[in-house]
Amino acid sequence: MRDYIQDFVQMRDQINEDSTSIRIVNAGIMNSGKSSLFNSLLDRYEFTVRDARETVAIKPIEWQPGVFLIDTPGLEANKGDDAEANRAYQRANMIVFVHKLEAGELHQSEINAINRLKSLFDDPKFFWRHFCMVFTARESRSGFEQIVQKSLSDVQKECGYSDFKVFIVSNTDYAEGTDPDDPIPELVEESEIPAFRKFLQDNFEIWRKESIIIKKIKINQARESILSQLRIERDQIYRNIERKKEQIQDQQSYFLGRLRDVFESTDEAWREYDREDDELIEIGNELEELKDKHSREVF
């Protein structure tokens, strides 16, 4: 039998841990600038950046006390569900979907990926409240507004919502603007990284409060789920006991029947024996009489 108490303790600890930390998780196809975006937030080179498929494992880094940035590998169009990444998205306080403007509008595979992320949540409203989009490489396209507009209208059409926060950033401008040898504050501002960072920071308090409510709901859900499994197991045990009882009763009545048969046939044998006994006495008597008669006749 499973150790349900152990399961519950594990679930409760996980929920408690979730409620005490804030997790910001990025998502997007490979090479979209996910790791670069988180490095910009951190103001340091923490996540490896390369112009090829680079991030292969989920990597959390503490950005501020209790606030984690979780860098994920690129979503692949034809890849099946990745359990680890899915768990990270389900536990996220904010999912940051990253798209690089150099690639033009959102690709169908990215729209599908957003729908897949949405399907990880029971409540679509909850999902959209914890979703935002960041377009990177702002400096690479002069007409980026149209690309963003078209992308958002596609998301609206295919995913059913587009009223989430959108940032159009440049990681390269930010890096250039924050060069300690030659800082360019205007370039930093233009990169929209500070605005994105402020948006996240402004939400910390809200997410912390929300986490307390979610924690209560989740602990209740965990309790209910463990209880319902326990009830199922208890009913199964009762059914097994009933089945065993029936089997024992069947066996008992079978043996009692057999015993009755044996007793009856023994009684019959005794009666037969008694009858034979009477006959024997009779024959004995007859013999004695004959013997008497015979001896009288002879002498």
CB of 71 to ligand GTP, least distance (A): 7
31 lies in the binding site for Mg ion (CB under 5 A):
no
Residues 15 and 52 sit within 8 Å (Cβ to Cβ) = no
Residue carrying the six token digits 């024997």: 280
137 binds, among ligand GTP, Mg ion, none (CB under 5 to 8 A by kind): ligand GTP
7 binds, among ligand GTP, Mg ion, none (CB under 5 to 8 A by kind): none
110 lies in the binding site for ligand GTP (CB under 6 A):
no
Q: Rounded to whole angstroms, how far apart are CA atoms 102 and 172?
A: 13
Q: Rounded to whole angstroms, how far apart are CA atoms 113 and 129?
A: 17
Residue 40 or 211: which CB sits closer to ligand GTP? Answer: 40
Residue 13 or 76: which CB sits closer to ligand GTP? Answer: 76
* 3-state per-residue secondary structure call for 195-262: HHHHHHHHHHHHHHHHHHHHHHHHHHHHHHHHHHHHHHHHHHHHHHHHHHHHHHHHHHHHHHHHHHHH
170 binds, among ligand GTP, Mg ion, none (CB under 5 to 8 A by kind): ligand GTP
**CA 71, 77, 79 angle in degrees (round to 5)?**
80
| Contacting residue, 19, 31, 55, 170, with Mg ion by CB under 5 A | 55
b/e code 215-232 from CB counts within 10 Å (16+ = b): beebbeebeeebeeeeee
Q: Which helix (H) or strand (E) segment is 42 a member of? A: helix 34-42
| Contacting residue, 18, 23, 25, 32, with ligand GTP by CB under 6 A | 32
CB of 35 to Mg ion, least distance (A): 3
Q: Rounded to whole angstroms, how far apart are CA atoms 164 and 182?
A: 35
19 lies in the binding site for ligand GTP (CB under 6 A):
no
CB of 67 to ligand GTP, least distance (A): 20
35 lies in the binding site for Mg ion (CB under 5 A):
yes
Q: Which contacts of 142-149 are long-range, i.e. CB under 8 A and separated by 24 or more positions? A: 144/101, 144/168, 147/101, 147/104, 147/105, 148/101
19 binds, among ligand GTP, Mg ion, none (CB under 5 to 8 A by kind): none
40 lies in the binding site for Mg ion (CB under 5 A):
no
In the shown chain, the binding pattern of residues 163 to 182 toward ligand GTP, with x for contact by CB under 6 A and - for none, equals -------xxx----------
Q: Report which of 171, 164, 168 is spatially closest to residue 95, judged by C-alpha positions.
A: 164
* 3-state per-residue secondary structure call for 73-94: CCECCCCCCCHHHHHHHHCCCE
Q: Within 40-69, which residues bind ligand GTP (CB under 6 A)?
A: 49-51, 53-55
93 binds, among ligand GTP, Mg ion, none (CB under 5 to 8 A by kind): none
36 lies in the binding site for ligand GTP (CB under 6 A):
yes
36 lies in the binding site for Mg ion (CB under 5 A):
no
CB of 197 to Mg ion, least distance (A): 19
CB of 117 to ligand GTP, least distance (A): 15
172 binds, among Mg ion, ligand GTP, none (CB under 5 to 8 A by kind): ligand GTP
Q: Which residues bind ligand GTP (CB under 6 A)?
A: 28, 30-36, 49-51, 53-55, 73-74, 136-137, 140, 170-172
Contact residues: Mg ion, CB under 5 A: 34-35, 54-55
